[in-house]
Amino acid sequence: MTLQTLLLIGLIVFSALALLSRDLIKAAISFAAASLFLGIVFFRMGAPYAGVFEISVVAGLITVLFILAVALTEKKAEVRESPKARLIFPLFFIVFIIIDVLVMRGLIRKIPTLPAEAETGLFGQVLWGQRTFDLVGQVAVILAGVFAVLALFRKKDLDD
Amino acid sequence: METTLIVFFLVLPLALAAVLPLLGRLSKRVLPDILANAVFFVLVVNAFVLGRRIPAGEPLILQASWFGEPLGLRMAVDNFSLFLLLAVALVSLCVGLYSISYMEHFGSKPAYYALLLIMVAGMNGLILSTDLFGIYVFLEVAAVASYALVAFGLGRDEVEAAFKYLMLSVAASAFILISIAVIFFMTGSLALSDVARSLAAMDAGPVVAVCSALFLMGFGLKAALIPFHAWLPDAHPSAPAPISAMLSGLLIKVSGVYAMTRIFFHVFGLTPALSMVLMILGSVSIVLAAFLALGQKDLKRMLAYSSISQVGYVVLGLGLGTPLGIIGGLFHLFNHALAKGLLFLNSGSIQSAAGTRNLDEMAGLARRMPVTAVTSLVGSLSIAGVPPLNGFWSKLIIIIALVQAGQGGFALIAVLASILTLWYYLLFQRKAFFGKPEERWKDIREAPFWMTASTVVLALLCIGVGIFFSPVVAAWIEPAAGVLGKGIQFVLGAWGL
């Protein structure tokens, strides 16, 4: 239980750091660390598939993409934020945590826990046999993302 | 046979979208134009054919299998979803035809059509889904495509609007996902019928209340109900006109109103408290957005606020929950999809001809653009609820339903706001089309063929549905309302394994 609490605290701290950090590279790395904590939580709660996805895709692949994108941006593009904007997030964050604790305290006792069972079946079977419809949706999301990039980064060709 | 027809709604647009950028290398304009519109046309025909085969009040269920092994791919069509599939197909066909001319100067037609097709596939997938997570995934499919389409013009405003839209939409998705997670924890299932059965069996009042509130915030954001509307007046006007028509005409209704209605009616069951919350949110949206629309100088912003107001009518009718209220709400949803699609397309014609969206700068365009003037008059009067156009009948049904249910106060709000609506649409007509044309508009010409043709089709639909409202309501709306009226019994009986 203590380890679980520590993992969850780590997850929240690194998530907050990812949002608050002024340096984009540090933000990307904090985000990766937060996903790592989340991945371990998934493993410990008996959801190895979710854990593998979280660590390989979010902590690994997406971080690489973020860092590549940051490397491509120019220094001069930096914009100064108003001090108000820097205050609003921490304030909102604290209020959210308080509301979250209050709501969850009431809610958690009312939700019956599911009987704990480890995920069964082979990885492919779970994805292909049980959640095929979502798989079609995921393919569509990826397609949409690819075409969005194709469409939104076309400006250079037009200008030429 | 029927199952193939159901699969078409999802697979056809998705398959074409996947190959379109490759085909675009062969032909940059003509091939994408023809293929995309052919798919939209097939979907319209498909909806009509399927409509004849669907038994009234019963769903058609498709359970896919792979070499005899059942897959986790289940889709269902009932009269409620079929009616929305028809609305999506009809408006996207008109939008596709309009894009043939309108998107010429934007460039990159293959990517544009690919995104539009994915958006349609996302909406169709959401409508066909029988599972909470499926609804969420396809909601995201449509949303991701729409972010890119809002930013398609690549101007500063477009990109900013897309970013704002993305941020608020992510918040909406988070609310929806949290609620789905809580429901999964409670019931151990995601299928709508299983969840409905489990929730009915257990005493889960407070948790259902929290989940309802989360869904209300999530889908309320997607439907842009006040107070969750902040993104819409930026996002819808910034997109290219045909995309504004898709967003205002369809997307807010499918990913907001449809998903919310399906879950509240068929999974949770509409409680009196939830019904009252929906009615209050609906009326607040109707009134506030109407006042906000009145003050707009930008034509597309005015139309965007008007969308919020009209979605308010839909939610008011559905929230009332009586059979007549549901019929009114659904009919208004359909009519608004046609009329608002038409008006946004008109706004695109005006913008591309006159180069402005500012109502104060326009005058006397009717002489230069007669077809656009007439079709936009039809759209305006339809939304304002002037007889015998389609919008009149749906508003009348909602008001009669409210009076019958003893909700005189809400009925009065609906009537008074309708007068406000007429006011701002007449202002738009007077400023844009009437009066003496200025010298600088003397060279303006009517919009190109495909742009005017698609607006004429929509205007004729508005008039046709208005005149033949009785057979339209009997054939499409009443069966859909009947399915909703059955409440959770419908999914328990028909969708159960």
Residues B114, A147: C-beta atoms closer than 8 Å: yes
Cα–Cα distance for residue pair A76/B183, rounded to 1 Å: 47
Determine contact, residues B342/B378, Cβ cutoff 8 Å.
yes
> Residue A19 is inside which H or E element, if any?
helix A2-20
Counting DSSP H helices and E strands in chain B, the numbers are: 22, 2
Cα–Cα distance for residue pair B332/B311, rounded to 1 Å: 9
Chain A nearest CA to B218, separation (Å): 17
Chain B residues in contact with A151 (beta carbon < 8 A) = 108, 111-112, 115, 148, 152
Per residue of chain B (497 residues), give pLDDT as tens.
777 888 899 999 999 999 998 888 888 888 889 999 999 999 999 999 988 888 777 888 887 777 777 777 788 898 899 999 999 999 999 999 999 999 887 878 899 999 999 999 999 999 999 889 889 999 999 999 999 999 888 888 888 889 889 988 999 999 999 999 889 888 888 888 888 888 888 877 788 888 999 999 999 999 999 888 888 888 888 888 999 999 998 999 999 999 999 999 999 888 899 999 999 999 999 999 999 999 888 999 999 999 999 999 999 999 998 999 999 999 999 999 999 999 999 999 998 888 888 888 887 888 888 899 999 999 999 999 998 899 999 999 999 999 999 999 999 999 999 999 999 999 999 888 887 777 777 778 888 889 999 999 999 999 999 999 999 999 899 999 998 888 888 888 766 54
Q: Is B64 exposed, middle or buried (0-12, 13-18, 19+ CB in 10 A)?
A: middle
Give A94's contacts (C-beta < 8 A, 6+ positions apart).
Answer: none
At B253, the amino acid letter reads K
Closest CA to B382 of B425, B351, B417: B425
Residues A136, B14: C-beta atoms closer than 8 Å: yes
Q: Which two tokens stand for residue B251?
A: 């997307």
- Please list the alpha-helical segments (H only) found in A55-82: 63-72
Chain B residues in contact with A134 (beta carbon < 8 A) = 72, 133-134, 137
Cα–Cα distance for residue pair B251/B121, rounded to 1 Å: 12
At B85, the amino acid letter reads L
Cα–Cα distance for residue pair B334/B465, rounded to 1 Å: 10
Residues in chain A: 160
Distance (Å) of CA B111 to CA A134, B22, B81? 24, 10, 28
Pairing of strands B60-66, B69-77: antiparallel
- A121 to chain B, any CB pair closer than 8 A? The answer is no
Name the one residue in this structure whose structure tokens are 């209220």: B325
Cα–Cα distance for residue pair B398/B318, rounded to 1 Å: 9
Q: Name which of B148, B154, B206 is nearest A147 (Cβ-Cβ).
A: B148
User: How many C-beta neighbours within 10 Å does residue B7 have?
Assistant: 15
Give B144's contacts (C-beta < 8 A, 6+ positions apart).
Answer: A141, A144, A145, A148, B118, B122
- Indicate the SS3 state at residue B185: helix
Determine contact, residues B140/A137, Cβ cutoff 8 Å.
yes
First to last CA, chain A: 60
- Determine which of A79, A113, A136, A160 to mutate to test the interface with B (most B C-beta atoms within 10 Å): A136
Q: Name which of A132, A151, A158 is nearest B72 (Cβ-Cβ).
A: A132
Cα–Cα distance for residue pair B357/B195, rounded to 1 Å: 48
- A85 to chain B, any CB pair closer than 8 A? The answer is no
Cα–Cα distance for residue pair B19/A159, rounded to 1 Å: 26
Determine contact, residues B482/B79, Cβ cutoff 8 Å.
yes
- Which DSSP category does A116 fall into? P
Model's pTM, two decimal places? 0.87
Radius of gyration of chain A (CA): 20
Q: Which two tokens stand for residue A83?
A: 């001090």
> Residue B70 is inside which H or E element, if any?
strand B69-77
Q: Which two tokens stand for residue B183?
A: 């429901």
How large a percentage of chain A has pLDDT more than 90?
Answer: 12
Determine contact, residues B263/B216, Cβ cutoff 8 Å.
no
β-partners of residue B358 are: B298
Give B156's contacts (C-beta < 8 A, 6+ positions apart).
Answer: none
Give A96's contacts (C-beta < 8 A, 6+ positions apart).
Answer: none
- Which DSSP category does B131 fall into? B
Distance (Å) of CA A111 to CA A5, A114, B131, B199, B203? 20, 9, 21, 12, 11
pLDDT number for residue B264: 93
HSE of B479, CA atoms in CB hemisphere, 13 A: 21
Check the CA dihedral B38-B120-B130-B84 and report its sign.
negative
- The mean predicted confidence, pLDDT, of chain A is 79
What pLDDT, in 10s, does the model give residues B290-300? 999 998 889 99
**Averaged pLDDT for residues A63-71:** 81
More confident residue, A48 or B309: B309
Determine contact, residues B315/B282, Cβ cutoff 8 Å.
yes
pLDDT number for residue B497: 47
Residues A130, B185: C-beta atoms closer than 8 Å: no
Q: ipTM of this predicted complex?
A: 0.83
User: How many C-beta neighbours within 10 Å does residue B447 have?
Assistant: 25
Residues B206, A106: C-beta atoms closer than 8 Å: yes
User: How many C-beta neighbours within 10 Å does residue B22 have?
Assistant: 9
Chain B nearest CA to A60, separation (Å): 22
- Determine which of B10, B12, B144 to mutate to test the interface with A (most A C-beta atoms within 10 Å): B144
